[in-house]
Amino acid sequence: MRGRRLRAALTPYALVFPGALWLAIFFVIPTVVMLSLSLQSGNVTDGYVFTWNWRSYVDGITTYSDQIVRSLVYGFLATVLELIIGFPVAYWIAFKGGRHKSVYLFLILLPFLVSFVLRTISWQFLLSDNGILLGPLKSIGLIPKDMHILATGAAVVCGLVYNFFPFMVLPIYAALERIDPRVLEAAQDLYASKFQTFLRVVFPLSLPGVFAGVLMTFVPATSDYVNATVLGGTGNTMIGNVIQNQFLINQDYPVASALSFTLMAILLIGIFIYARALGTEDVLEVAAR
């Protein structure tokens, strides 16, 4: 009897142990090592020594403040555009998709079967000056001949919206799918218009999905460096490009680590403010219902 109670008490910990071990090896330990490296002094040739060198943070922020701000702006614009585009798509699939919902969701996920880099490179052909998108418009005179989108911030934002689009649609769809149709019928019985039903019933009940979608989109979009490399010019580099160059090319590991932690801190502060503004308690209460 005592052995059975002991096994019952240890079972939850045994189930959590593999996941906890995975996080410890591949997240906690690398994070601690990178934090230590950001406070070290030295170089690749002579080695690094832990000296509580906070100068790396000051140098990183002052030197690359433009890239940090640009990353936040691009990530914010991409997130807003994905919410504007993705919410109607998720709404249509949830309420109008019928028996073909799985097909529509598969079509949204289908591009993910292709490499992230290849998906981004494909936008070079779409947005090139004489590509399949701008070429016909220029030939019929709808846009100027000298207009170009590649190597601009707009191209980077387009790439971010495209690559992280499912991260916005799927959480919102999951939240909308859980809405009981009887709630919508009750709103109509109370003489609510379709717009009032959406504003007072559908949208509040979808907030858990919106909350998750915004987080899952904003964080990777702000940290991304592939879209800026492939679609942006030299004047559109993001902080992810700087961190990559500092690690792999300049081999200035303390500055690269300091920039990584600076970006992480900014994102965590932004997430906290966003959660407080949206009201996570209310969101969790809605999700529980």
Rounded to whole angstroms, what are the CA distances from 184 to 116, 165, 207, 209, 211?
39, 27, 16, 18, 22
pLDDT at 279: 65
pLDDT at 201: 87
Q: Name which CATH class applies to 64-288.
A: mainly alpha
In sequence order, what are the residues at sequence separation of 6 or more whose Cβ sits closer than 8 angstroms to the Cβ of residue 267?
A: 218, 219, 222, 223
- Ranges of each domain in the chain: 64-288
DSSP H or E stretch at residue 83:
helix 65-96
CA gap 152, 156 in Å, rounded: 7
Three-state DSSP at 238 gives: coil
Convert the pLDDT of each residue in 37-90 to its tens digit.
999 998 888 888 999 999 999 999 999 999 999 999 999 999 999 999 999 999
Convert the pLDDT of each residue in 188-197 to its tens digit.
777 778 888 8
Convert the pLDDT of each residue in 226-256 to its tens digit.
999 999 888 899 999 999 999 999 889 999 9
Convert the pLDDT of each residue in 34-43 to its tens digit.
999 999 998 8
109-122: average pLDDT: 90
CA gap 142, 137 in Å, rounded: 5
pLDDT at 287: 46
Phi and psi at 235, nearest 5°, equal -90, 10
Question: Which residue is associated with the tokens 């019985």?
Answer: 189
Query: CA nearest 38: which of 274, 283, 247?
Result: 247
Residue 27 DSSP symbol: I
CA gap 212, 281 in Å, rounded: 14
| Mean pLDDT, the chain, integer | 88
